[in-house]
Amino acid sequence: MNLIFTKDLVPGMCVGEDVIAEDGFIKLLPQGAILTQVQINSLRNWEIPSIYIDDTSEWTEGKAIAIHMTKKEFIHGYRETFDKVVHAFRRIKKFREGSIAEMQELVDQNIILLSETIGVLEHLQDIRCYSENTFNHSLNVAIIAGVLGKWCNYEGRELKNLILAGLLHDIGKLFIPLPILNKPGLLSEEEFAIIKQHPQAGYQVLKDATIPEGVKLGIWQHHERMDGSGYPMGLVGDEIYAGAKIIAIADVYDAVTSERVYHCKMTPFEALDMLADKMFERLEPVACLTFISNMKNYLTGSSVVLSNGQKAKIIAFNARTGYFTKPVVCLQNGKLIDLQKTDIWIAG
């Protein structure tokens, strides 16, 4: 454990002890949090002179998301990767077979770097503002699966296979008629039955490809749910492949935080409330909790707009009730507000 001056902190370091504000009441950062640039800036704003850093554990090295890239560089890298994804997916649609070597190269050389970039989830949120479609969704799920996989201790080839499954999880949608795929409003029973074929269709198109069985199962089972309410097979609990459970969380998170023809996008805060409240029994609980608690650390210190139009910074989430849309925030004039005691929430 080392006491490090705040001016010397860098993203990716692991917080060794809870960081408490000078008033003694507000926990700015919990022990074990992996520092982001936003959090370091927040510590500077709070004039915290130094904090304890856990520099001994392998945990830090294993879980730190530590590639430095500016937002501009990230967006450039995302767009470059996106163009390659579109190109590769169109070929699969045309010839009904995939160049797996090309996909693996995309994962190994592009997507893994994007998923390990500091601020990756904030950058993805910004990218959502101007583009949404199946290709974006596939790349986003690959990146988020990389982030969550790392948080769940996946590494090396296993992590890359998880990212590959994320990239290809909706490949079966290429064979669903666009009027059904993009239909605003409720689908008829027949239309929904067609949509539900996409995991099987994706598995079919790649079943003879030389990729690990786990990647194929990730594609086939990403809509299965722990309580048996998913599709195509209605598998339950341990019957579902572990990687598919990670892809499911990344898929749900990206889907609800994206603008779709049939719904308005949620903020990351609303999405976390939804995951913790409505989806928790349907998704794998350990991975889901890992995602939620890491996202909590990730979002602490970020700038937000409140429902009354005021700008604020997230100071802390209430550990007891866990309403992510109602944390303690600091207004621009320095005033602290616990949003749970008001009718204000985070709007964006």
Binding site for Fe ion (CB under 5 A): 170
Say if CB 89 and CB 171 are below 8 A apart.
Answer: yes
Q: How far is the CB of 170 from Fe ion (least distance, A)?
A: 4
Q: How far is the CB of 203 from Fe ion (least distance, A)?
A: 12
The angle subtended at Cα 336 by Cα 319 and Cα 39, nearest 5°, is: 65
Q: How far is the CB of 137 from Fe ion (least distance, A)?
A: 9
Of the pair 169, 265, the CB lying nearest Fe ion is at: 169
Of the pair 170, 270, the CB lying nearest Fe ion is at: 170
214-252 per-residue burial string, b: 16 or more CB within 10 A, e: under 16:
bbbbbbbbbbbbbeeebbbeebeeeebbbbbbbbbbbbb
Closest to 19 in 3D by CA, of 333, 301, 291: 301
Q: How far is the CB of 157 from Fe ion (least distance, A)?
A: 24
Q: Which amino acid is at 264?
A: C
Q: How far is the CB of 245 from Fe ion (least distance, A)?
A: 14
Of the pair 170, 254, the CB lying nearest Fe ion is at: 170
Instruction: List the structure tokens of 4.
Output: 């490090």
Q: How far is the CB of 87 from Fe ion (least distance, A)?
A: 21
Q: β-pairing, 311-316 with 328-331?
A: antiparallel
Q: How far is the CB of 211 from Fe ion (least distance, A)?
A: 18
CA distances from 17 to 4, 54, 103, 260, 269 (A): 12, 8, 41, 41, 25
Which residue has its beta carbon closest to Fe ion?
170
Q: How far is CA 285 from the centre of its chain?
A: 16
Of the pair 27, 196, the CB lying nearest Fe ion is at: 196
- C-alpha dihedral sign at 101, 160, 40, 307: positive
Instruction: List the structure tokens of 342.
Output: 């008001």
* DSSP β-bridge partners for residue 312: 304, 331
Of the pair 170, 224, the CB lying nearest Fe ion is at: 170
CA dist 197 and 202 (Å) reads: 9
Of the pair 4, 187, the CB lying nearest Fe ion is at: 187
Say if CB 315 and CB 263 are below 8 A apart.
Answer: no
Q: Which amino acid is at 303?
A: S
Of the pair 88, 141, the CB lying nearest Fe ion is at: 141
CA dist 181 and 202 (Å) reads: 15
Q: How far is the CB of 262 from Fe ion (least distance, A)?
A: 14
Of the pair 195, 347, the CB lying nearest Fe ion is at: 195
